[in-house]
Amino acid sequence: MNKLRFAVLIWALSLCACKKDLIDTNRPARPDPAAIPVSLVLDQTLTGYRIPHTFEGLSYETALLTQDPGYLNENNTVLIQLLKNLGKGVLRIGGNSSDEIDWGGDDAGTDTLHRKLTKPDIDRLAAFAKTIKWPVLFGLNLGNSNPEEAANEAVYVRNKLQNSLYAFQSGNEPDFFGNIHRQGKYIYEDYQRDWRSYYNAVKSKVPGVAFAGPDMMPFNLRWLHNFTKNNHDKVVMLDGHYYNNGPASNPAIGLSDVLVPNNKMATYLQGMSVIASSHGLPFRISEGNSIWGQGKPGISNVFASALWALDFMWSVAENKGQGVNFHGGGVRFVYTPINTANGVTTAKPLYYAMLAFKYGAVGNKIIQPRFLNPNPDDNYSVHACESPDNATLVTIINKETTKNFSFTIQLSKTASNIQVARLSAPSITANTEVTFAGSTVNSDGSFEPANPEEYRTNQKSLTVTVPAGSAAVVTVK
């Protein structure tokens, strides 16, 4: 063997021995000839809205406090670790059951199936919130038309949660109260009278607490507009719900209902943003998920839902939303990001989308990409932002089931280092073996990204191939 061939062999073996996928090159990766080319431009000097550190959140039914005392509990170490992985966030307690469960204080009542909310329930919630260091958005029962009882409940909740209480809200989807919690038609003016009576009753006993609202059903911008006009000086935040489609019982609902963009979503989020900004208020999706009606098996609990969730969080952020609280909690909620069954708590596909958003978006300023050759028939999205340490992060989501895309990104600044952390699964219908940045969540809830794909360069462009049914978070320094 001559010296040249021996040197080449040693070089090749040294590459194989590397612990991380490092491509030491002076040029960006070349486009994959089997992938569809996409070109876009990022002006890294044009940054906008900063995504709040408390953007991500979870939403739980009030009934969970009474039915499963061990869940939102300071001793539930796996759940606590899973939430800590996400950094800061907001915990929302509400849902349909918030308008079905009365405040009992020291008395849980005699109905074991529908017992009252008690002081020990709130004590556990307060200890849990203090442990995870997430503020709590707490729903009061508007369904029973008892503002005095709500005020008594608010006193105890405020005294126990202290600084962990973000705000109260009265009524879950009150625009759906007609013939459920109220007899006959229930219009906005009825709700306004009810809401104001609750607000006054609570404020008379705990003057310093904050309120949010109206926590209405998806797409009801009329109620949001009226509520904001009447109560903008009485709330610290506007909120509403979002579900991409439903009900889950509809046999016609399939994967396309989470993979294909929902045009109603864009109009809804833009409307929320305009209404909120016109009064200087933030807005939040206080409850949301893929398919309403507790989620649809094979859609809401598979990897396709993670791609939808990642794209949805970005859509809210790009409309200057304060955050998203994904609903879930128990095994009956098919779409839950975190599931507990037979005493075992596990991260579901949607949770991995939250990890990708945490590492690729939270705390950063948004940059709007400009596409050079967009094809409206291609189902992908690209989102970008700049971190406080001046890194540019690009999230690319490919929601096609058969098309691979090769993205060439033109930068306004010269890049020296590029890392790629991928969100992937064995298939778009997989509900296990999901990974982000080459890692899975451990059984104790801990998570640590593996070494990412990485290469060095000295160019103002880069190329990243994103296979069908996957996503990537690209960090450019």
CA-derived radius of gyration, the chain = 24
CA distance 374 to 400: 15
Coil, strand, or helix at residue 318? helix
pTM reported for the whole predicted model:
0.92
The answer to whether the CB of 346 falls within 8 A of the CB of 30 is no
Q: What is the pLDDT, as a whole number, of residue 7?
A: 39
Going from the C-alpha of 446 to that of each of 59, 70, 477, the distances in angstroms are: 21, 20, 27
CA distance 42 to 385: 10
Tokens standing for 467? 């296979």
Sign of the dihedral defined by the CA atoms of residues 179, 185, 188, 194, in that order: negative
Q: Are strands 338-341 and 365-367 parallel, antiparallel or unpaired?
A: unpaired
Cis peptide before 33 (omega within 30 of 0): no
CA distance 400 to 468: 5
Neighbouring CB atoms inside 10 A of 8's CB total 11
Tokens standing for 274? 């305009």
Q: What is the pLDDT along the chain (477 residues), one digit of tens a residue?
A: 444 343 333 333 333 333 333 333 334 455 576 899 999 999 999 999 999 999 999 999 999 999 999 999 999 999 999 999 999 999 999 999 999 999 999 999 988 778 999 999 999 999 999 999 999 999 999 999 999 999 999 999 999 999 999 999 999 999 999 989 999 999 999 999 999 999 999 999 999 999 999 999 999 999 999 999 999 999 999 999 999 999 999 999 999 999 999 999 999 999 999 999 999 999 999 999 999 999 999 999 999 999 999 999 999 999 999 999 999 987 789 999 999 888 899 999 999 999 999 999 999 999 999 999 899 999 999 999 999 999 999 999 999 999 999 999 999 999 999 999 999 999 999 999 999 999 999 999 999 999 789 999 999 999 999 999 999 999 999
Nearest Cα to Cα of residue 285 among 137, 421, 385: 137
Q: What is the pLDDT, as a whole number, of residue 34?
A: 85
Q: What is the pLDDT, as a whole number, of residue 22?
A: 36
CA distance 324 to 338: 15
Domains defined for the chain, CATH in brackets? 19-48+365-476 (2.60.40.1180), 56-360 (3.20.20.80)
Helix (H), strand (E) at residue 38: strand 36-42
Sign of the dihedral defined by the CA atoms of residues 230, 235, 237, 242, in that order: negative
Q: What is the pLDDT, as a whole number, of residue 31?
A: 57
